[in-house]
Copies of this chain bind each other. A is one copy, B any other.
Amino acid sequence: MRTWDTVAIIGVGLIGGSIGLALRERKLARRVIGIGRRRESLEKARARGCVDEITTSIAEGAKQASLIVVCTPVESIAQHVLEASEHCLGGALITDAGSTKAEIVAAAENLKEVRFVGSHPLAGSEKNGCDAASADLFEGRMVVVTGTENSEAEAVDAIEAFWQSLGASVLRMSPDDHDAALACTSHLPHLIASALAAATPEQLLPLTATGWQDTTRIAAGDAELWRQIFLANGASTLKALADFEKVLSRFRAALESADGTLLAELLAEGKRRRDAVGN
């Protein structure tokens, strides 16, 4: 398994912190540098064992790294890739962990002489920060790697191998296909969960139980991170929402006409897809 000399992680929260923990626990890097804006968060990440060294300067952190992983909110990623690319070692690889890909990849590929390949580990949570990080976060999880016709094959292979070395399975997709797919499997569910929570009258919250709690759990996620994701993937999310609303209309029609047969069909179809996933 390929090991790295120095890996720099920009943004040491849940995802960045977990990458650091996994690299260190699996001895995949000689040194992991955590880069961030707030010294206090960095100190905490170091104390938790997520990184060996810390710095608030991207220039400083990037200049000795052979791999740089950008784990900041989606609106900042392209800018951080740019800054890192200006200082990193020749031949260094850069990837990210953003939940949207088309905008980020298009911006990053405009940079000259940078070997950037986009990634998205499907390992988010409603929890944030390196307190929630764990070395096995990627174990058995899926990571989408979004090489393009501009990518060097060797760079895509290396980024794929990087995620595999953390325990993940890798699926390759184009940035556009990724965004269309994740609109259905991640961004729409977040929107639905948030809308359901917001639509529940406050005085009825004591009457919620595990069903409501499961269905709305991800609405507790960081609102600012999700604002950025929805803005970056608005068109695909709208399309997924329209498809969802078609199913919702069929449920409405079944309720309005007290059509038990249609209700049974709709419920069976939902159950069939949910059962196919498990957990």
Contacts and interface: CB of A to CB of B under 8 A. Distances in A.
A255 B276 contact: no
Nearest to A262: B227
Interface string A180-213: 0110111011111111111111101111111111
A279 interface: yes
Interface in A208-223: 208-221, 223
A142 B209 contact: yes
Which of the four size classes fits the interface of chain A?
A: 35 or more
Contacts of A201: 184
Nearest to A210: B125
Contacts of A220: 271, 274-275
A202 B269 CA distance: 11
A199 B204 CA distance: 28
B198 A270 contact: yes
A158 B13 CA distance: 52
Interface stretch (A36-44, A49-57, A149-157, A235-243): A235-243
B219 A271 contact: yes
Contact of A200 (B184, B193, B195, B223): B184
A29 interface: no
A141 interface: yes
A218 B198 CA distance: 19
B273 A198 contact: yes
A172 to B, nearest CB: 12
A231 B190 CA distance: 28
28 contacts: A122-B208, A122-B209, A123-B209, A123-B210, A142-B207, A182-B207, A184-B199, A185-B212, A186-B212, A188-B196, A189-B216, A192-B196, A192-B215, A193-B211, A193-B214, A194-B267, A195-B247, A196-B270, A199-B247, A215-B215, A219-B270, A219-B271, A219-B274, A221-B271, A223-B267, A223-B268, A231-B258, A234-B258
Given A185-B200, A219-B270, 8 more contacts: A186-B207, A190-B211, A194-B266, A195-B270, A197-B274, A199-B244, A223-B267, A241-B252
Interface of A: 122-125, 141-142, 144, 171, 181-182, 184-186, 188-202, 204-221, 223-224, 226-227, 230-231, 234, 237-238, 240-241, 243-248, 251-252, 254-256, 258, 260, 263-264, 266-271, 273-277, 279
